[in-house]
Chain A
């Protein structure tokens, strides 16, 4: 009887089995594989392609001596801070707040325009951004109308260009999250504050933001993780150049693993990236948990 009961209990978990299997195969698997590879000298070609040797932490030691690594780490932080934490997040919130007050026509138009960039496949968005910033691109033509001379944006300010492009591409996500969150702010709360004489800024700072704090943390976590992984956009726009001026960690990992055929070293870079993602994730989760008393 007890055995029967246990079988039934076990069977109850059966429906989640496919999901768990998929997670193991497609998420945990690659992460473990990357970490394992980073401890070997696996290559795309040459002797180490057939029989990779265990090299322990050698790839990580090499990483610490590689002059491109600190640069790339700094650029990654700059990219995430500039385009996700400040750019997408703040702009998304601002749009969501403003759209609540705007006329429905304006709100719908702006919403469509912002979401359009988001629904574009990444490669299409990347080409669009490249076409915008390149030497004979839209930006230079627009500026030319005001008599400005041609600038090679992707060459002179590559990081600014990719950050702006990523803000353009990703703001819709934050905007949608915040629109949903703002709809959940009880109207009577803000009205009461209004009665007590609080101005719009005060209402935002002391009522709205604290109420939607959970959404802010969730949104920050999601956009940070998404932005950490951005590769196509940067690869298409600048390929990490000039002179490594926009080589973020995903670009570096790709270059090492597939352009130079050094899979071991490339996966070491990728492992560092996974680690950074995990640290950010944990920090935001903490932020979320503190909300509940």
Chain B
């Protein structure tokens, strides 16, 4: 009995030792590893390419250092969740990672990001970054915690073939919401099998619903999501209800896709990969990065898309100043607060974002450049015929209120759009539900009626 017991104990001890041997200890001097986490999907490989190149460059310049790339497969939502879970523990936190601009503030609050101020001061190329873009990496304490990779804007992408067939004058430039509806109805009448004007809605498309859809409407009504002066969230605005009503009109008149399809998280793949190339979709609100899917080497390569597609700014509700609305986001690179090699990690970050790698990434992913030398490069300016149009929208663009509460507020907005397009709530009811949800999230004293 005793013998069997001691055997069990030794087996158990052996198992523990084996497990312990598997966990990475302190890497020996001269054999350091930098872990890099980023997003990769079958339709978004530009970042992966950039990091592969940066890894080669960095390892060649730093003997004995290994860059361990950890691409995470998943959409933006899943990537954010997985990254946040990894960041919670120092043993799983990456040294360098790809971070959405709207998460910077809350992740700094959580203590996940390293302050880069002193290191950036010593980096000669930091001056080349656009000042507005630099803001995206700043936290509430004024320190900079992340370096922007690029930015984006949103516009209406439309298929000129379909517009021509409906007798719409080109280039199309809608002046108001009414103008959009009138055009969409014209298209429906001319080509019944075509989806005239799609706008994302519902929780399926996640942040896409609000960035490429609802906010273009809301910010064009004069209302906003957040009042920066009083630092309170806006509730009860007529603009919110009007925006929902516009979506309801689009969906109930079948001018957009069927609600069942709108709620499919993969609907955007159909937009880019199927409906536009096959001339089944008139127009949609999408990001400035749209050409990255269609250009040579993109995931939905479409030779000749330049001749068929057009781009127009999204109008304000009644054509009021400044005439157009766009939303901007973008992604950054950050260094983990718990990294054991902050200097090496920062050096890797600067290698990844040097002029050569930045240019290649900006062109491959149709980003709007944030480095002046990249923006001036002929390769950037001629990357696609839409660069000038979408870069011009920076003058009217809006940014999301990047507070810690934002992700939940965004979810509440998505829920309101879903309730309206499925017909389960009227725009008034859905707006009232949203007001209740916001008060529940931030507290009634942090809301303001406008």
A binding-site residues for B, Cβ under 8 Å: 8, 11-12, 14-15, 17-18, 43-47, 49-50, 62, 65, 135, 152, 154-156, 239, 241-243, 258-262
Contact = CB atoms under 8 A, between A and B. Distances in A.
A259 B77 contact: yes
Nearest to A152: B260
B9 interface: yes
Interface in B394-425: 404-405, 407-408, 411, 418-419, 422, 424
Given A15-B5, A18-B8, A45-B106, A241 B259 contact: no
A241 B109 contact: no
B263 A47 contact: no
Contacts of B378: none
- Top-9 shortest CB links A-B: A46-B404, A155-B260, A49-B110, A152-B260, A14-B5, A46-B106, A44-B84, A45-B106, A50-B111
B371 to A, nearest CB: 28
B81 interface: yes
15 contacts: A11-B1, A14-B9, A44-B84, A45-B84, A45-B112, A46-B109, A46-B404, A49-B88, A49-B109, A49-B110, A62-B440, A241-B202, A242-B260, A259-B81, A261-B407
Contacts of A49: 84, 88, 109-112
Main secondary structure of the interface of A (DSSP, over half): helix
B120 to A, nearest CB: 23
Given A45-B84, A50-B109, A242-B263, 14 more contacts: A15-B5, A43-B110, A43-B404, A44-B85, A44-B88, A45-B106, A45-B107, A47-B110, A49-B109, A135-B261, A152-B258, A241-B202, A241-B418, A259-B411
B316 to A, nearest CB: 29
B248 to A, nearest CB: 14
A52 to B, nearest CB: 11
Given A14-B5, A135-B261, A44 B81 contact: yes
A182 B324 CA distance: 73
B169 interface: no
Contact of B110 (A15, A46, A241): A46
B203 interface: yes
B171 interface: no
Nearest to B82: A258
B265 interface: yes
B132 interface: no
Interface in B67-106: 77, 81, 84-85, 88, 103, 106
A94 B311 CA distance: 61
B109 A47 contact: yes
**Best-buried of B84, B260, B411, B418 by chain A (most CB within 10 Å):** B260
A264 B210 CA distance: 26
B1 to A, nearest CB: 6
Contact of B103 (A15, A45, A47, A156): A45
A54 B111 CA distance: 19
Contact of B2 (A11, A65, A262): A11
Given A45-B84, A45-B103, A261-B407, A15 B258 contact: no
A137 to B, nearest CB: 12
A45 B110 contact: yes
A49 B424 CA distance: 35
Interface string B4-15: 110011001000
B4 A15 contact: yes
B236 interface: no
Interface string B140-164: 0000000000000000000000000
B406 to A, nearest CB: 10
A243 B419 contact: yes
Nearest to B12: A18
A34 B280 CA distance: 49
B414 to A, nearest CB: 10
Contacts of A239: 203-204, 265
Interface in B181-240: 202-204
Contacts of B4: 15
B81 A242 contact: no
Contact of A45 (B263, B265, B404, B419): B404
A15 B259 CA distance: 59
A242 B417 CA distance: 12
Nearest to B408: A260
A260 B8 contact: no
A46 B107 CA distance: 6
B104 to A, nearest CB: 10
